[in-house]
A and B are shown apart, each in its own frame.
Chain A
């Protein structure tokens, strides 16, 4: 009757949980390794983000997070970019 919760279910659970959160920001991604950009929030540097190709639909892979709450290192298409956490809060992933 009682199914043992397997690792697959756990992932499913996290997935559902993620779906329920209205917005997943790049800065919040701690375990997630990749995501698709849903929206760039308005800010003083939104254009700079767009110019680097961080546009809705772009696939972002997280490569590294610097120590001491430092920048996030991401791969986007074939380029690698580092952005500060503050900037990453304006990038909303699907």
Chain B
């Protein structure tokens, strides 16, 4: 038997995800809608030996879309109106705030759909003294209505049965959304175009201005007013609120959390907890992962027959994958907190508190969350900008996010700061930690300045507006939190992962192949250092090989460009290989300076005594270190970020703008710093 196709729709923050998980359990998969970056969730379940396919559409507020997500739902609803592809809509409403939901419901219903209405959070509504007469709503709209609690799993079976029922005989559709004197105009348009549904015709007129003689703006405004009158009538008949029962915790909590002083103090504290966890808690699993991959790589090279293919796997592929997996603990912790904030309702309070400050630099309160994730990695940050409706604010957020200090910069900073500042304490505070903090602040300040500049450069084609619902505070649902972590981690590993792995392999090939000199490295080094043992020769051979590999050639090619910054070709190689991911800098440095270990201390000592062939001075002197630090702070040496920016903006122009402005900024600032200091 053919499966019944049902789409799940509703306003945001009504418990749609919870219901979807309740209905489908683990029988679900996430895909992508063609051409847009909105996740498409599909699932299925069997009830009374009928199988039902459920499509989860993003939450939306109106038939007049203002964001990508909304646009997609509206398109879906308009396209499927009158088709048999989707048999039914499952509309979920919030029992504690049903007016807005019923407004949307009446719009969707006018498109001619069969609808089953699930009124969620009935338990909370009852506690608030709201009594909903579901029978009366069912009768007024001519639909099936089931009251549920998705969180507790109440009413789910009844809901499943209601989906299988035939829809009640529909009343004659009234054009409740249009003044009677305009009915004739609409009907004429509808018949001329052969549109089967009046509301679909109405949307075409109001959204696309298809009829020049119609004041579509007026029609839209009148629709809202007329429809609210209509919905209000139904609500008056079917919903009773007993005010004496209402005890509103949310309003009370908001008085503290949104306080002009305490609100910000609490927000700072929440930020601190997140950062502390991301950076200190994550180090344990990160060390484990690091050790595992080095063990895995060495045991693989013992197991497999020696040869270039084995080397490609053990020295290119495995470390490449390891370079991605190492970030997973931080991403998991980060999204754990984001899921908590989102589920509890505090996320919207952060948006509220920060909006006016972010507005000053051309962004929105909604930019705060992506920017916080930027401190772990710019890739999930740029993906998270999708919630920002205004295109300019979203674009600016994407453009400046990579300036914030991501965790891939940390290993680089650690080594350079170690070379720069003595490990001494200043009134009990580590000097090195202070400089590191300074680098974080530098990132914040630069991104604010860059955002301000973009605000003046990018024309605002789209009027910025900001209306957001402040949901009730709720205790987070464990299942939803786990799902959020899983989805985001998966998407990070996939998006950033494939690029990091590919780049690592390409760099490996470039570093392990070269001309004649490369192939003759062993003979050359052995004849040069006759007195050394084989053990001592090995690092010298690999250093010589790297120098004469294609990668070494590249490093030497760019040397003229980077000499003014205080670097030599060896640093050039490290810069190029950083393109896969910034932290590769450390590994490359250890190979090129023929160090046998990747221990930061040993690398540091070795680098400290290195002499620059061009100047005859210490390579890593004060000026060079500062210049390198600044270069890494500003340059966009991250293929994954470039790729994700392109994916999210779908624009070569803005992807290049981002890459170029950061590269130019890095180059100019490092140049000035080196020239002034040396």
Least Cβ–Cβ distance between B370 and chain A, in angstroms? 19
List residues of chain A with CB within 8 A of the CB of B220: 47
* A51-B103, A67-B356, A84-B355 known, 17 other contacts, Cβ within 8 Å: A47-B224, A48-B61, A48-B465, A49-B467, A52-B469, A55-B225, A63-B254, A66-B353, A71-B355, A71-B356, A78-B128, A81-B467, A81-B469, A82-B351, A84-B359, A84-B465, A86-B465
Q: Does B247 make an interface contact (CB < 8 A)?
A: no
List residues of chain B with CB within 8 A of the CB of A70: 352-353, 355-357
What are 17 of the A-B contact pairs (CB < 8 Å)?
A: A47-B220, A50-B228, A55-B224, A64-B254, A66-B352, A67-B264, A67-B356, A69-B356, A70-B355, A70-B357, A71-B365, A73-B258, A78-B96, A80-B471, A81-B470, A84-B467, A87-B466
Instruction: Verify A53–B103 contact, CB threshold 8 A.
Output: yes
Q: Does B309 make an interface contact (CB < 8 A)?
A: no
Least Cβ–Cβ distance between B348 and chain A, in angstroms? 7
Most chain A CB inside 10 Å of its own CB: which residue of B217, B352, B471: B352
A66-B355, A71-B466 given as contacts; is B250 within 8 A of A51 (CB)? Answer: no
Q: Does B276 make an interface contact (CB < 8 A)?
A: no
A53-B99, A53-B100 given as contacts; is B467 within 8 A of A75 (CB)? Answer: no
Q: Does A12 make an interface contact (CB < 8 A)?
A: no
Residue on A nearest B61 in the bound complex, by CB: A51
Residue on B nearest A69 in the bound complex, by CB: B356
Q: Does B260 make an interface contact (CB < 8 A)?
A: yes
Q: Does B221 make an interface contact (CB < 8 A)?
A: yes
- How many residues of B are counted as interface, with CB atoms below 8 angstroms from the partner's CB atoms? 44
Least Cβ–Cβ distance between B247 and chain A, in angstroms? 13
Instruction: Verify A50–B225 contact, CB threshold 8 A.
Output: yes
List residues of chain A with CB within 8 A of the CB of B255: 64
Instruction: Verify B225–A56 contact, CB threshold 8 A.
Output: yes
List residues of chain A with CB within 8 A of the CB of B128: 78
Least Cβ–Cβ distance between B470 and chain A, in angstroms? 4
- Where the two chains meet, the residues of B that have a C-beta atom closer than 8 Å to any C-beta of A are 61-62, 64, 66, 96-97, 99-100, 103, 128, 130, 217, 220-221, 224-225, 228, 241, 250-251, 254-255, 258, 260, 263-264, 348, 351-353, 355-357, 359, 365, 463, 465-472
Which chain A residues (76-94) contact chain B, with CB distance < 8 Å? 77-84, 86-87
CB-contact partner of B468 in A53, A77, A81, under 8 A: A81
Main secondary structure of the interface of B (DSSP, over half): helix
- How many angstroms between the C-alpha atoms of A82 and B99 in the bound complex? 17
Q: Does A45 make an interface contact (CB < 8 A)?
A: yes
Least Cβ–Cβ distance between B303 and chain A, in angstroms? 60
Least Cβ–Cβ distance between B489 and chain A, in angstroms? 30
Least Cβ–Cβ distance between B357 and chain A, in angstroms? 6
List residues of chain A with CB within 8 A of the CB of B353: 66-67, 70
Least Cβ–Cβ distance between A53 and chain B, in angstroms? 6
- How many angstroms between the C-alpha atoms of A50 and B465 in the bound complex? 14
Least Cβ–Cβ distance between A66 and chain B, in angstroms? 6
List residues of chain B with CB within 8 A of the CB of A68: 356-357
Instruction: Verify B465–A79 contact, CB threshold 8 A.
Output: no
List residues of chain A with CB within 8 A of the CB of B64: 47-48, 51
- How many angstroms between the C-alpha atoms of A86 and B64 in the bound complex? 21
A67-B260, A68-B356 given as contacts; is B97 within 8 A of A78 (CB)? Answer: yes
Q: Does A9 make an interface contact (CB < 8 A)?
A: no
Instruction: Verify B352–A73 contact, CB threshold 8 A.
Output: yes
CB-contact partner of A66 in B66, B348, B356, B472, under 8 A: B356
Least Cβ–Cβ distance between B590 and chain A, in angstroms? 48
A55-B224, A73-B258, A77-B97 given as contacts; is B357 within 8 A of A82 (CB)? Answer: no
What 0/1 pattern do residues 36 to 57 of A give for CB contact below 8 A with B? Answer: 0000101011111111110110
